[in-house]
């Protein structure tokens, strides 16, 4: 049966526009919350023997959108990403329409050159003069590639013979680092227990003197320290480790130095805040997630190296003449440097967005995030019923409600946060600083203005009044 493309696309367009416009409505909820059992009944998720027509399909899609969290909503402060980037969204759409894979220039000529252009630009911004890189499926996978590259540098025979006869390797990250490093150590056969978590200070920054102590202790145990990762924006406090200080120690002990900028990497686009990345030009590798502070649709992640040919030498010999051929474009085949075979053309959505905003536009957007976070912090400081749990460093603010007459503030604040989330009015997350529960506000949507922050606090205190705290 011939598809009426115009009719189908018009129906889809109508749903998309309504969804986007609804997110811009200040009265629209972040989520129409339902319990898992109730939502399962509403969505009618079972697949039947017989198919359905497009009209019925769009009814199901409409229902899906109705009960999804609207991360474009300006009251969504729950995760390290938010907002809808329309140029990036268009790139996502046209990437899906062309539906190609990134293993060869032959099947993805425009996408290949787009990715190579962006990798070159991002390496230049990081100061990697002889850099290389590739788009990957998330910051966790970029961190895995960093440890993978380090392992293969120090134990290249492991690629062929495995790790069973290898020396005892050790890797070092902050105790505030992302959990993906433990997963990477597990997957690579190094072992999660070989990942040593270095103490951080009161601001959540790795302490360089503690790193050196841990590396020295590892050497005394006749282990081989091989990998150090600093963090550019921790998940709770938004802390930036001292890149240059940590890099000096890593190089002194002949370790691979990685910078995990999964959260804060895009801050490098602002000349006002680029000082946070002092020393980045000498690290070995860098994780950068444009799907966070650049607001590109998920997933858009990049792994950058300060070396030219590491990605290709990471892989075992590719005996795949059914994919890779000798021709004028063979040096453009990105599949030869990727641990994936099939890979989506994620570069297009980043390119369309960056092309639209330009460097200056993105710098303004990053600066606005900082202005908004600063305003939020000041509102907390000015309110006697609110307590700032840690000094703001970048784009997260940790605070709690503390009227001064409540014993168990952890239970109270968890309850406030949960009721606020289920109300659909605003959404924030929480974590722990030591044993104290803290509500974590994070601004990642550059469209958010100070008036949106005022609405958040209105919703926050309305929720407190609703739950009738004595």
The CATH number assigned to the domain holding 291 equals: 3.40.640.10
For 48-107, write each residue's pLDDT tens digit. Answer: 999 999 999 999 999 999 999 999 999 999 999 999 899 999 999 999 999 999 999 999
Which among 453, 454, 367, 440 has a CA at the least distance from the CA of 400?
440
103: left (phi over 0), alpha (psi -120 to 50) or beta: alpha
Span 349-359, average pLDDT: 98
Which among 387, 394, 399 has a CA at the least distance from the CA of 439?
399
Domain membership of residue 65 (yes or no) is: no
- Banded pLDDT at 272 (limits 50, 70, 90): very high
Mean pLDDT (the chain, rounded): 94
- As a whole number of angstroms, the distance between CA 401 and CA 380 comes to 9
Domain membership of residue 121 (yes or no) is: yes
User: Sign of the C-alpha dihedral, residues 91, 97, 99, 104?
Assistant: negative
Q: What percent of the chain has pLDDT over 90?
A: 87
Lowest mean pLDDT among 142-156, 297-311, 320-334: 320-334
If one counts the domains in the chain, the total is 1
CA-angle at 172, arms to 133 and 149, nearest 5°: 30
- Banded pLDDT at 331 (limits 50, 70, 90): confident
Span 36-41, average pLDDT: 95
Map tokens 């209105």 to a residue.
458
Q: In what order do the strands lie in the sheet with 436-442?
A: 76-77, 427-433, 436-442, 396-401, 386-388
- As a whole number of angstroms, the distance between CA 450 and CA 373 comes to 9
Q: Count how many Cα atoms sit within 13 Å of the Cα of residue 397 in the half-sphere of its side chain.
A: 23
Span 236-240, average pLDDT: 98
Give the CA radius of gyration of the chain.
Answer: 24
> Omega of the bond prior to 192 within 30 degrees of 0, cis?
no
Do residues 131 and 306 make contact, with C-beta atoms less than 8 angstroms apart? yes
- Banded pLDDT at 322 (limits 50, 70, 90): very low
pLDDT at 346 over 60: yes
pLDDT at 328 over 80: no
Domain membership of residue 422 (yes or no) is: no
Q: In what order do the strands lie in the sheet with 195-198?
A: 132-136, 301-305, 285-288, 256-261, 224-231, 169-174, 195-198
Domain membership of residue 13 (yes or no) is: no
| DSSP class of 276 | G
Structure tokens at 385: 């019923």
For 394-434, write each residue's pLDDT tens digit. Answer: 999 999 999 998 889 999 999 999 999 999 999 999 999 99
What totals of helices (H) and strands (E) does the chain contain, helices first?
14, 12
Q: What percent of the chain has pLDDT over 70?
A: 96
pLDDT at 318 over 60: no
**Per-residue pLDDT, 470:** 58
Domain membership of residue 119 (yes or no) is: yes
Domain membership of residue 80 (yes or no) is: no
- As a whole number of angstroms, the distance between CA 236 and CA 439 comes to 10
pLDDT at 170 over 60: yes
User: Sign of the C-alpha dihedral, residues 379, 381, 383, 388?
Assistant: positive
- As a whole number of angstroms, the distance between CA 4 and CA 238 comes to 49
Domain membership of residue 222 (yes or no) is: yes
- Banded pLDDT at 26 (limits 50, 70, 90): confident
449, 452, 457, 458 alpha-carbon torsion, rounded to 10°: 140
Owning domain of residue 280? 92-353
For 43-57, write each residue's pLDDT tens digit. Answer: 999 999 999 999 999
Do residues 227 and 171 make contact, with C-beta atoms less than 8 angstroms apart? yes
Domain membership of residue 444 (yes or no) is: no
Listing DSSP states for 389-428 in one string gives -S---SSEEEEEE--SS-S-HHHHHHHHHHHHHHHTS-EE
Span 232-244, average pLDDT: 98
- Banded pLDDT at 164 (limits 50, 70, 90): confident
């Amino acid at each position: 049966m011939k598809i009426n493309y115009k009719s189908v696309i018009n129906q889809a367009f109508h749903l998309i526009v309504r969804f986007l416009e609804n997110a811009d409505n200040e009265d629209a909820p972040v989520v129409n919350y339902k319990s898992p059992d109730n939502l399962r009944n509403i969505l009618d998720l079972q697949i039947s023997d017989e198919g359905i027509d497009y009209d019925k399909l769009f009814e199901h899609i409409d229902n899906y959108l109705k009960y999804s969290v609207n991360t474009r909503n300006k009251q969504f402060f729950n995760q390290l990403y938010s907002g809808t980037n329309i140029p990036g969204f268009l790139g996502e759409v046209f990437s899906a329409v062309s539906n190609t894979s990134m293993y060869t220039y032959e099947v993805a000529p425009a996408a290949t050159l787009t990715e190579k252009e962006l990798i070159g630009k991002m390496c230049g911004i990081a100061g990697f003069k002889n850099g290389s890189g590739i788009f990957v499926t998330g910051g966790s996978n970029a961190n895995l590639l960093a440890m993978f590259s380090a392992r293969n540098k120090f134990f290249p025979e492991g690629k062929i013979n495995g790790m069973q006869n290898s020396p005892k390797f050790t890797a070092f990250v902050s105790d505030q680092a992302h959990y993906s490093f433990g997963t990477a150590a597990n997957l690579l056969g190094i072992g999660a227990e070989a990942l040593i978590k270095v103490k951080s200070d009161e601001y959540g920054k790795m302490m360089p003197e503690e790193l050196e102590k841990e590396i020295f202790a590892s050497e005394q145990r006749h282990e081989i320290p091989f990998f150090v990762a600093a963090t550019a924006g921790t998940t709770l406090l938004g802390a930036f480790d001292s890149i240059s200080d940590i890099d000096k120690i890593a190089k002194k002990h002949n370790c691979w130095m990685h910078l995990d900028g999964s959260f804060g990497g895009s801050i490098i686009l602002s000349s006002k805040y680029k000082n946070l990345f002092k020393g980045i030009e000498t690290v070995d590798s860098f994780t950068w997630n444009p799907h966070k502070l650049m607001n590109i649709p998920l997933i858009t992640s990049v792994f950058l190296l300060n070396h030219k040919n590491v990605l290709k030498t990471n892989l075992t010999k590719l005996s795949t003449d059914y994919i890779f051929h000798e021709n004028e474009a063979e040096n453009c085949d990105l599949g030869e440097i990727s641990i994936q075979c099939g890979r989506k053309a994620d570069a297009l959505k980043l390119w369309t967005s960056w092309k639209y905003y330009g460097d200056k536009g993105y710098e303004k957007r990053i600066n606005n995030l900082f202005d908004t976070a600063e305003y939020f912090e000041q509102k907390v400081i000015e309110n006697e019923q609110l307590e700032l749990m840690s000094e703001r460093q970048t784009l997260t603010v940790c605070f709690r409600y503390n009227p001064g007459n409540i014993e168990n503030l952890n239970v109270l604040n968890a309850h406030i946060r949960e009721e606020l989330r289920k109300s659909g009015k605003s959404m924030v997350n929480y974590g722990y600083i030591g044993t104290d529960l803290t509500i974590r506000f994070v601004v990642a949507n550059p469209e958010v203005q100070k008036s949106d922050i005022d609405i958040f606090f209105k919703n926050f205190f309305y929720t407190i009044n609703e739950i009738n705290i004595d």
